[in-house]
Structure 1
């Protein structure tokens, strides 16, 4: 089990099928950083209650909307042009690196929030993935969410 959220996110993302599942969920509007945090909390047995879900969302949403998504839009917008322009391709790679750095910062902010939440604290049920995906649940691919769950929890 990974002690910190960043290491957990990296090791989880490299498991078979997880990257594809995360990209599908992201395309459907899910905040993958938030879902990975939820999976980490679930694996640690931290209880899931509405107040905790809300606290995580209050940190994630503004950062996602104001920092990560604008970088992602530029990177995606430049994808086709960058295939024919080496200079633009190099700039696009720098934007991609910034996007990853922004995601790492978000994960660090989320981890800082949850440090006081004890594993096995008996509060609520560890159903973080469903709760954090609730707002987008109607639009999210249930198979992708299940793939993430299986790779993280084995269930």
Structure 2
């Protein structure tokens, strides 16, 4: 298993079918960075607590809303126009790079918070994904979450 969250996330995302699963979750409004952190915590056996879930959400929520989502919206908004406008296509690629860099910084922030949390063998440690995605549970793609969890076992 990868020691740091960024490397772990890249390893998971590169697995067959994971890009599509993550994009499905993202389209449903799920914070994929938070889900990747959750599966990383599950793999490390970190004990799940309400306080830890809230602390992660407290970091991820504002960063997603104020940094990542505006970049993503701009990139998506330019998709069609950039197909016929090379300078715009180049700018769109720069925005895409900035979006990825913003996600990397979020994962680093989440790791910084969670890195000192002890591991354990409590029965609920495998529920990080469901707890972190609880607000999105009504429309949640549980197959994509399970796919994420299974992919993480080989990371």
Fold agreement, TM-score > 0.5: yes
CA RMSD of aligned residues (A): 1.3
Cα offset, 1:121, TM superposition: 6.4
Cα offset, 1:139, TM superposition: 1.1
Instruction: Report whether the alignment pairs 1:90 with 2:85.
Output: no
Count of aligned pairs between the two proteins: 154
Q: TM-score of the superposition, structure 1-length normalised? A: 0.95
- Write the mapping of 1:1-155 to structure 2, written as runs, cut at 5 A: 1-120=1-120, 122=122, 124-153=124-153
Quick check: which one's helix share is greater? 2
Structure 1 CA distance for aligned equivalents of residues 95 and 136 of structure 2 = 27
**Greater than 4 Å deviation, 4+ residue runs:** 121-124
Task: Give ranges in structure 1 of 5+ residues lacking alignment.
Answer: none
Structure 1 contact 82–88 (Cα < 8 Å) conserved: yes
Cα offset, 1:123, TM superposition: 8.7
Structure 2 CA distance for aligned equivalents of residues 17 and 54 of structure 1 = 29
Task: Give ranges in structure 2 of 5+ residues lacking alignment.
Answer: none
Cα offset, 1:59, TM superposition: 0.2
Any idea what SS the aligned residue of 2:135 has? helix
Any idea what SS the aligned residue of 1:126 has? helix
Q: Deviations for 1:55-85, whole angstroms, at most 9, x for unmatched residues?
A: 0000000000000000000000000000000
Any idea what SS the aligned residue of 1:125 has? helix
Q: Deviations for 1:89-129, whole angstroms, at most 9, x for unmatched residues?
A: 00000000000000000000000001110222649533111
Q: TM-score of the superposition, structure 2-length normalised? A: 0.95
